[in-house]
Chain A
Amino acid sequence: MIVEGRAVVIPGDDVDTDVMYPGAYLNIEDPEQMKRYLFEGYDPALREQLGDDAIAVTGWNFGLGSSREHVVQALKAWGVRGVVGKSFARIFRRNCVNLGLLILECPSAAEAAGSGSRIRIDTDTGLVEVDGRRFKASPTDPFVLELQESGGLVPWARGKISA
């Protein structure tokens, strides 16, 4: 699968789920409403850079903390096409995979990208291009790759139930 887009850099390392989506808004269930509070405790201006051509670029240990799925739901509601980072906290990465949001660990690509960089991801080869420069992403397990490319656990479960 090929995914292309425009880099939106979420600066810093150890960016936690609480700053990305503060606890006070955990009573919201509609992703369209969750959108409004994404990055609320970190830098609300980041929302203005998002859009349906965006690929989020992150630092080390991105998404540490809570199991709240709201962060990933909100990223998806903004139309974000994927996340490329130096490394990810476990549950955040799971949530992306389970909701079918492409997530790739590629420290060199994340380092090379600036806001507005053109990014092209080839999930078959694991290559990430940043403004034409090529980087190799850490390998993703075939089951995990298939799960996220097929839209996550909801379609997976539907297939399993109807089978």
Chain B
Amino acid sequence: MWSRTWRSSLGHTLAEKILLAHCDGDDVRRGKVVMVRCDVVMANDVSGPIAFRAMEKMGAAKVFDPARVVMVADHFAPAKDARTAELLKRMQDWADEQGVTFYGQGRGGIEHTLLCEEGWIVPGSVIAAGDSHTCTYGALGAFGTGLGSTDIAACLTFGEFWQTVPGTIRVEFTGEKQQFVTGKDLILAVIGEIGVGGATNCALEFVGDGAAALSIDERLAVSNMAVEAGAETGFFNADEKTAEYLADRTDRPWQPDESDPDAEFDRELVIDLSELPPLIALPHLPGNVVPVEEAAGTKIDQVYIGNCSNGTMTDLRQTAQVLRGHRVHPGCRMIVVPATQSIYRQALAEGLLDLFVEAGAMVSTPTCGACFGGHMGVLAAGERAITTTNRNFRGRMGSPEAEVHLANAYVAAAAAVAGAIVHPAEVASGVAA
């Protein structure tokens, strides 16, 4: 069995190393099911209340460790109606009773941006959360993965979940990105290349000079959409930027780590950023990716800047760069949603919120809101939106007869000015890259 011996001598991927450190035993072969210990368990006002009920059915009275559990009110916050007010209230009551951290309305923001900001996430840690975009934490080198409510109930009770050891697809970004190209375009390029199921049963791993050059905000945007390719999570290797980002946010101990040089990957692909234009995902799949110019001229009714992928200061500054000196087109409306209260205040201090409102945009309190068709900006039949969000499934933001286009903040802001999809260079020729 020569090949067997040879295979067993191979090194480990980052996913395997993190799982190895969080399970009993020393066997993390691809496809093996292991019980993984959680460093943090999180749920929101949609996944949480269902998890609390499941926990009751399990006969569990208390969470495994209140210090490792965090609840965030973001999906239907502020409450849309009496029913959602009830969900938010139940969450508050449950968090009080269990003694866990609760980021209530006005005290936090969109869960994934918030947990990074608040120092809950460090490289090498495992985060299980009742939301598919938990893969965002891969940006900080953590194994963040999305689970359903019953899974979360078991995590809340025992602090662990079952996990099939994934393979790894390694994506190398080379070269320097062009003006108006952001992290959003990098991940859209990956999903366009491998498809919306291309990373099923795998983790994605983003490496290379182009990955190292990205700011933490842009890395969050890339990792956030790993699930849109079907991935369990999407890693960046922790580096000086990660250390700098975490320095004032947390005193949790961590060590940088990465895949061994001789680790085996399911697939490796290289994306040359110097050749990459701003991209757009056309309705109704995040994998329907084309260069923005192929969609130019498409009339737009609503522009939405926000969500857990692209509601950061970086996105708001990019939006302002394009919008400065312009007004939102009369045939179009624009909604800007800073992802967290602290981003909101920073944008306020920088004068960005004033710039947005003066240009004719609406500025919303942090919320998941219209991104998932919940409230605060849903679409009518026949309407077309361009958004910095992560999903453009049919009916995602309201009517099944509406259309959603996904793009970066420069492209979305430029569409607000033109009332139609344009290359941002046509609106903001003087903007620095």
Residues on A close to B: CB < 8 A?
Answer: 14, 16, 18-19, 22-24, 26-29, 41-42, 60-61, 64-69, 72, 87, 89-91, 94-95, 98-99, 141, 143-144, 147, 152-154, 156-158, 160-162
Question: Is the CB of B75 closer than 8 A to any CB of chain A?
Answer: yes
Contact between A160 and B147 (Cβ–Cβ < 8 Å)? no
How far, in angstroms, from A68 to B158 measured CA to CA in the complex?
Answer: 21
Rounded to whole Å, the gap between the CB of B405 and the closest CB of chain A is 16
How far, in angstroms, from A160 to B159 measured CA to CA in the complex?
Answer: 13
Contact between B150 and A61 (Cβ–Cβ < 8 Å)? no
Our pick among B149, B162, B201 for the contact of A69 (Cβ within 8 Å) is B149
Contact between A69 and B150 (Cβ–Cβ < 8 Å)? yes
Chain B residue numbers with a CB within 8 Å of A144 are 33, 162, 164
How far, in angstroms, from A143 to B310 measured CA to CA in the complex?
Answer: 38
Contact between A26 and B200 (Cβ–Cβ < 8 Å)? no
Max count, chain B CB within 10 A of own CB: residue among A23, A41, A68, A154: A23
> For residues 366 through 396 of chain B, which have their beta carbon under 8 Å from a beta carbon of chain A?
372-374, 378, 391, 393-396
Chain B residue numbers with a CB within 8 Å of A18 are 372-373, 391, 393-396
Contact between B394 and A69 (Cβ–Cβ < 8 Å)? no
Question: Is the CB of B316 closer than 8 A to any CB of chain A?
Answer: no
Chain A residue numbers with a CB within 8 Å of B87 are 27, 29
Contact between B394 and A19 (Cβ–Cβ < 8 Å)? yes
Contact between A67 and B154 (Cβ–Cβ < 8 Å)? no
Question: Is the CB of B58 closer than 8 A to any CB of chain A?
Answer: yes
Max count, chain B CB within 10 A of own CB: residue among A27, A72, A152: A27
Of the A-B pairs whose beta carbons lie under 8 Å apart in the complex, a sample of 29, sorted by A's number, is A18-B395, A27-B84, A27-B87, A41-B394, A41-B400, A42-B394, A61-B196, A61-B200, A61-B230, A64-B196, A66-B372, A67-B47, A67-B130, A67-B147, A67-B149, A68-B47, A72-B148, A89-B197, A94-B147, A94-B151, A95-B148, A95-B151, A98-B151, A143-B162, A157-B59, A157-B153, A157-B154, A161-B58, A162-B59
List the 7 shortest-distance A-B pairs measured between CB atoms, nearest first.
A61-B197, A157-B58, A23-B372, A41-B395, A23-B373, A95-B148, A69-B148
Question: Is the CB of B408 closer than 8 A to any CB of chain A?
Answer: no
Chain A residue numbers with a CB within 8 Å of B341 are none
Question: Is the CB of B4 closer than 8 A to any CB of chain A?
Answer: no
Question: Is the CB of B138 closer than 8 A to any CB of chain A?
Answer: no
Chain B residue numbers with a CB within 8 Å of A68 are 46-47, 148
Contact between B60 and A16 (Cβ–Cβ < 8 Å)? no
Chain A residue numbers with a CB within 8 Å of B398 are 24
How far, in angstroms, from A72 to B147 measured CA to CA in the complex?
Answer: 13
Chain B residue numbers with a CB within 8 Å of A141 are 31-33, 164
> For residues 44 through 79 of chain B, which have their beta carbon under 8 Å from a beta carbon of chain A?
46-47, 49-50, 53-54, 57-60, 75-76
Contact between B197 and A154 (Cβ–Cβ < 8 Å)? no
Chain B residue numbers with a CB within 8 Å of A19 are 393-395, 400
Our pick among B60, B130, B150 for the contact of A152 (Cβ within 8 Å) is B150
Contact between B83 and A67 (Cβ–Cβ < 8 Å)? no
Question: Is the CB of B131 closer than 8 A to any CB of chain A?
Answer: yes
How far, in angstroms, from A72 to B393 measured CA to CA in the complex?
Answer: 19
Contact between A67 and B197 (Cβ–Cβ < 8 Å)? no
How far, in angstroms, from A153 to B60 measured CA to CA in the complex?
Answer: 12
Our pick among A42, A66, A143 for the contact of B132 (Cβ within 8 Å) is A66
Max count, chain B CB within 10 A of own CB: residue among A91, A98, A141, A153: A153
Q: Known contacts A67-B47, A98-B148, A157-B157: does B285 contact A14 (CB below 8 Å)? A: yes
Contact with A along B9-45 (1 / 0, CB 8 A): 0000000000000000000000111000000000000
Q: A22-B395, A141-B32, A157-B58 are in contact. List 4 more A-B contacts (CB 8 A).
A: A72-B148, A91-B147, A158-B59, A161-B59
Question: Is the CB of B251 closer than 8 A to any CB of chain A?
Answer: no
How far, in angstroms, from A64 to B396 measured CA to CA in the complex?
Answer: 13
Rounded to whole Å, the gap between the CB of B198 and the closest CB of chain A is 9
